[in-house]
Amino acid sequence: MRDYSIKNRQEGLTEQELTILRVDPFPEDKGDNDITVFRDVFVNRRTSARCAICRGWICKGQRVRKRVEKFDGMVKSFLICPICCATAYRFATEDSTEAEDAWFDRYELGIMRAN
């Protein structure tokens, strides 16, 4: 069973950000394994980093989704860039194949960039 009992600091988040947090960014990876989400919030990034989905660069100062989870006994932290977040928002709010394709294209881009 997945554990989604997340203690988030959600004050100050926009409606759009709260909607994005409802999209599971890694539905495929986990299968039936137990995961615990410790934190799933939006933060202003202080240093550059890579997006966990599209592998693109996140610049200092950008507002990004930060998710911390425990999976297979390991605690990992993921950042998701503004473009992937905007695409996730569209995926969550628009009932269209275009929105769905756009969301899955972000993962494809990440696979391409990783190789």
Residue 51 touches Zn ion, criterion: CB under 5 A: yes
Q: Closest Cα to residue 40, out of 56, 12, 20?
A: 20
**Contact between 84 and Zn ion per CB under 5 A:** yes
Question: Residues near 57 by Cβ (< 8 Å), separated by ≥ 6?
Answer: 48, 49, 50, 51, 81
Nearer to Zn ion, 37 or 84 (CB): 84
Q: Which residue has the tokens 């494809």?
A: 108
Residue of the chain from 49, 54, 79, 88 that contacts Zn ion (CB under 5 A): 54
Whether the CB-CB separation of 57 and 50 falls below 8 Å is answered with yes
81 is a contact residue toward Zn ion (CB under 5 A): yes
Rounded to the nearest whole angstrom, what is the least distance from the CB of residue 17 to Zn ion in the complex?
15
Q: Does 49 contact Zn ion by CB under 5 A?
A: no
Are the C-beta atoms of 45 and 61 separated by less than 8 Å? yes
Minimum distance between the CB of residue 64 and Zn ion, rounded to whole angstroms? Answer: 9
Radius of gyration of the chain (CA): 14
Closer Cβ to Zn ion, 34 or 61, answer by number: 61
List contacts with Zn ion (CB under 5 A). Answer: 51, 53-54, 56, 81, 84
